[in-house]
Amino acid sequence: MINIKQFLGDRIFYRNVLKISLPIMIQSGFTNAVSMLDNVMVGSIGTEAMSGVSIVNQLLFVFSMVIFGAGAAIGIFTSQYHGAGDVQGVRYTFRLKICTGFVITIITVLCLVLFDREAISLFLHETDSTADIEKTLIYGRQYLKIMLVGLLPYALSQAYASTLRESAEVKIPLYSGIFAIICNVMLNFLLIFGLFGFPALGVVGAAIATVVSRFAELFIVAYFVHKRRRLYEFILGAYSSFKIPRSLLLDILKKGFPLLFNELLWSLAITVRNQCISTAGLDAVAAFNIQTTVTNVLNITYIALGSSIAIIVGNALGAGELDRAKNENKKLLTFSALVGLGMGLLQISLSEIFPLLYNVSSVTRELATYMLIISGISLPANALAVSSYYTLRSGGLTLLTMLFDCVYAWVITVPVAVILSYLTDAGIHLLFAGVIFIESAKCILGIILIAKVKWARKLT
């Protein structure tokens, strides 16, 4: 008989979890809330403007996930170095994050500058929709040109913020994120609609607001870290050289960098999936954008809990307390699934209300409602899948996380999307439901791997 108590924590346990995850939730929640507000404001311009911005954000999603993957790959070691009290080790990992961020940014900018029209056009398909494809392309290229300026500050701020979180410091990333959000909101109102004498720049104004906010976030997080360098010792001498021990670099490349390639391949798989959905036309692109906007806000709850798994379990593993790591992980998995269920019910309750905020056709609104209901049903399974991923990652099983994440996406999710969109007459309703449900079924694989594989390991 299963002992239910082993999956439930006490008040102190949940207090400690929320102490780590709540600031991440608040920061990510604010960020996604601003993105939602930004999205609604751009959506008030029309379907073409919103679709152009949405397509560019799907392309930039690959960049953000690669940055995340690089930080996560290195962060496995940062978390365990911190747990072991090794400041020099944390300093080395921070340096590597900075160097990696520069390289990823340069490659991304070159690719999108040279092939911007071709990349955006992949998501534009002729249908019987009244939306203008050429107009959507123009909006997208205008938005992308400015957004590229904000990629480097985003990469650098993530290096600072992730290192702080992995060192159990969550307040500074939270404060810098809130400051950036306030900046973004104010500039959105001023530059999108042209309030108080500012020019009405539409999608260009939205891009400028986002870029300025990213520079502001970098300034705040870097300012506080360097000002309090005696407290955050990893920054002392961090820029005196960019030397990283060969043995550590090879160890990270071996155990951590498969995570980088995992995030790259996974994000590309998601982009291909989204491109398949776009074959249904701009109404589908617009509806999918509305659904994604809501889901991203609600997803941050269990994604933050996943980050808590990486930190709590990673610190326990770094201290050599393997049994404690496994016991706490069971409770975190259960908590994540329950939070996902709550968020799913909330999304379904908003499914008919939220699309009314957009200046789109009734067809787009109805399709957005359907997508919100379908994705809402899948959220508990998605929460469990995310938590399973972070569990396997905390023990350094990076090749296994690739199997779980990107291999599953390319072998199962992408083929289903391609078959339903290109090789059958399935409409957007069946296409969307099929892709979403087959993707969320990954949680079953995650539970099996955690139960069968020896993931709790000390790396440092």
**pTM, two decimal places:** 0.75
From the list 400, 386, 387, 379, the residue with the least C-alpha distance to 328 is 387
pLDDT at 20: 72
pLDDT at 157: 93
| DSSP class per residue in 88-130 | HHHHHHHHHHHHHHHHHHHHHHHHHHHSHHHHHHTT----S-S
Would residue 387 count as lying in a domain?
A: yes
Asked if 147 and 112 touch (Cβ cutoff 8 Å), the reply is no
Would residue 458 count as lying in a domain?
A: no
Would residue 89 count as lying in a domain?
A: yes
pLDDT at 27: 63
pLDDT at 228: 83
Sign (positive or negative) of CA dihedral 443, 445, 446, 447: positive
pLDDT at 90: 82
Contacts 24+ apart (CB under 8 A), 322-327: 322/456, 322/457, 322/458, 325/394, 325/456, 326/456, 327/6
Would residue 457 count as lying in a domain?
A: no
445 is written with which tokens? 């694989």
Q: Supply the range of the domain harboring residue 18.
A: 4-452
Q: Please state the domain count of the chain.
A: 1
CA distance linking residue 305 with residue 283, whole number of Å: 34
Q: State which H helix or E strand residue 292 sits in.
A: helix 282-318
Would residue 170 count as lying in a domain?
A: yes
Would residue 460 count as lying in a domain?
A: no
pLDDT at 34: 66
Asked if 54 and 205 touch (Cβ cutoff 8 Å), the reply is no
Would residue 82 count as lying in a domain?
A: yes
Tens digits of pLDDT across the chain (460 residues):
555 665 665 677 777 777 777 777 776 666 666 667 777 788 778 778 888 888 898 888 889 888 988 888 888 788 778 777 788 888 888 898 999 999 999 999 999 999 999 999 888 876 645 457 888 889 999 999 999 999 999 999 999 988 888 887 778 888 888 888 888 888 988 998 888 888 889 899 999 999 999 999 999 999 988 888 877 888 888 788 888 888 888 887 777 777 777 778 888 898 899 899 988 888 888 899 899 888 888 888 877 777 777 777 777 776 666 677 677 778 788 888 888 999 999 999 999 998 988 888 888 899 999 999 999 999 999 998 888 888 877 776 767 777 887 888 999 999 999 999 998 888 899 999 999 999 999 989 888 888 777 766 665 5
Orientation angle between helical segments 362-394 and 442-452, nearest 10 degrees: 10
CA distance linking residue 110 with residue 64, whole number of Å: 16
pLDDT at 128: 47
Would residue 459 count as lying in a domain?
A: no
75 is written with which tokens? 């962060």
